[in-house]
Structures are given as structure tokens and as C-alpha cells.
Amino acid sequence: MVRRVMSVAPVLAILLFSLTGCIAPPQQLTSIGFVPPGGNPKIIVMRPDVAVDLLTAGGLLERREDWTNAARDNVLASLQALQARRGSKTRVAITRASAGGEDATVTELNQLHAIVGQSVLMHKFSRQAALPTKDGVFDWTLGEIAVQYGRESGYDYALFLYARDSFASNGRVALQAVGYLGCMVGVCAVAPGGSQTAFASLVDLKTGDLVWFNYMQSNEGDIRTQEGADVLVWTLLDSMSAKERANKGS
């Protein structure tokens, strides 16, 4: 019924390539001198900020509660599986209340992370919006409120995850089809379809600083399914766990 048509269409693939061309290939960023937490730090995985939207024919993103709830449950399950593999003192906050701090602090922290993360995406991964002051440095921070949360909750690090997924409506798909016809007669403007954007940050709760950041963007995948959520979580976090293992070994 509702589906993505992106990957099947070569014309669109080219268009998308040109759209995403401004974004560097996924890479993780760390602050200078960052050493993955050694010893046995207490890490909290914050309740993931997940939303899934319907992309309407006219291009509006319409939040879908059922899809969002399913996707959040899936992402949480993926995170818990990751935690089970890692052991240590990592805890996954299933609800916001279980994150340990004051409700208002946790809410504000989650929202602040979404904004700061989008700012990192824009200014660090898009060449057009690169900032001279951020050239060669990675010094984003959630500031005092993160430190306050660290004091309240007793954790050393917090891992945040933000994920958005969207799916084209039937109307949007039909509109794209007309767009392809246009390409055949020389006027090529195909409306973009649904897409997936996600990022994750590790925040040092002693300083509030983002010490590690990773993002992914895709026109495939579906976090409404457990497999899709697993792919998202592992794509974002697996490289870090690999580094962590290397660090323990050394």
C-alpha cells in the first residue's frame, strides 16, 4: 500500500545522488583526544527520540502514531540487544522516567540533543553550510543541563539516539510516476520520496560535551520492522562498540 519507490527508479537515484551529494559519506566524529570510555563507566542509553511520518502528495510530513510507536519499540529492542552483548554498566532507559533525572531535565535534554544534533549534521556534514569556526574541531556541547543531569542520575555518559523515517503516500507515489513521464519528454522534476535520517551522540556528563557523533541517511530500510530498526541501530553504534573492544584489548 504505502511504499518507497526510490531505489527502483534509476532517474530518481540520479536525482537523489545529486541531493545527497552535498553530504559527506557517513563518518563518525569525535572530539579531539577522545578516548572511548575505558574502565567501567556508567552509561545510560536515553529513551530514543523516534518518529515515523507519512509523506503526503503535497510534500507534508504527517506524523503516524502507530508507526512511530512500533518503530520506537523496535529501536528500543535493538538497543537492548546491543546492551546485552556489551554487558558492563550500560542501562537502556525504556521510558523517560527511567532515565534517572528530573522529568523536566530529561525532556529538555532530549530536545536539546535533537537540536544540537541537527546542527552538527548541517554544519559538519554539509559542505555548503560548513562553519569556519568549526573547521577541524568538534566542540558541540549540551552544556550545564547535561552536567546537572549527570549529578542527578549518577551516570558518567549518556548515549542519545534520534531517528526519523518517512514513507510516501499512494498519492505521492503516483505523483512521482508522473514525474518520471516528464523526464521522458525532457522536463525532469521528480518529487522526492520517503527517507530515513538518524544520528547518535555520546555525551560526557562531567562536561556536557558531545564526545562522539555518528549519523546515517538512507532511502531504504524501514524501522517499523525489527530488521530495519536493527540495521539502523547497528549502523549508528556498531563502529563505536568495535572501537571500544579495540580499546579494551590495548
Partner 1 sequence: MHSSRRQFMLGAGGCAACMSGLTRAHVLPTDLPPLVDVDYEPVDADERGIWQSMEQIEETIQASPQRLNAPELQGYTGSIIEQLMGRETPDLRIYLMRSALFNASMFPTGMMIVNTGLMARVRNEAQLAAVLGHEAGHYYRKHSIERYRSLRNKTATMAWVGAIANLGAGVYSVGPYSSSDWIYVAQGINTLVTMSMFQMSRTQEEEADAYGISLMARSGYTPDAASQVWKQLIEERKASAAQRDKRYRDRSASLVSTHPPTENRMKDLADTAAYLAKGSNRGSTDRRDEWLAAVAPHRAMLLDEQIKLNDPGASLYLINSLAEDGWNGLLRYNEGEIYRLRGETGDQEKAAEAYAAATAFTDVPPEAWRAHGYALLKAKKVDDGRYALNRYLELNPGAKDAGVVRYTLAQ
Taking the complex as a whole, how short is the minimal distance between the CB of residue 9 and partner 1, in angstroms?
15
Cα separation, 232 vs 109, whole angstroms: 22
Note the helical H segments in the chain. Answer: 10-20, 65-86, 103-125, 144-153, 170-184, 226-249
Nearest one of 158, 53, 27 to 96, comparing CA atoms: 158
By the 8 A CB rule, do 200 and 179 touch? Answer: no
Among 35, 39, 66, 127, binds partner 1 (CB under 8 A): 66
Among 22, 27, 38, 63, binds partner 1 (CB under 8 A): 63
Give, in order, the Cα–Cα distances in Å from 20 to each of 15, 200, 223. 9, 19, 21
Q: Would you count residue 103 as binding partner 1 (CB under 8 A)?
A: yes
Q: Would you count residue 101 as binding partner 1 (CB under 8 A)?
A: no
**And the C-alpha cell for 28?**
563518525
Name the residue type at position 209. D
Cα separation, 166 vs 53, whole angstroms: 5
- Residue 63 or residue 206: which is nearer to partner 1 going by CB? 63
Among 17, 32, 189, 249, binds partner 1 (CB under 8 A): 189
Mapped onto helix, strand or coil, the DSSP state of residue 238 is helix
Among 22, 27, 62, 220, binds partner 1 (CB under 8 A): 62
Among 107, 126, 225, 247, binds partner 1 (CB under 8 A): 107
Q: Would you count residue 147 as binding partner 1 (CB under 8 A)?
A: no
Q: Would you count residue 181 as binding partner 1 (CB under 8 A)?
A: yes
* Residues of span 12-51 touching partner 1 by CB under 8 A: 51
By the 8 A CB rule, do 183 and 11 touch? Answer: yes
Mapped onto helix, strand or coil, the DSSP state of residue 34 is coil
Q: Would you count residue 115 as binding partner 1 (CB under 8 A)?
A: no
Q: Would you count residue 92 as binding partner 1 (CB under 8 A)?
A: no
Among 33, 104, 127, 250, binds partner 1 (CB under 8 A): 104
Nearest one of 14, 10, 1, 20 to 196, comparing CA atoms: 20
Among 86, 89, 108, 240, binds partner 1 (CB under 8 A): 108
Among 13, 19, 60, 130, binds partner 1 (CB under 8 A): 60
| Residues in contact with partner 1 by the rule CB under 8 A | 51, 53-54, 56-60, 62-66, 68, 103-104, 107-108, 111, 171, 175, 178-179, 181-182, 184-187, 189, 191
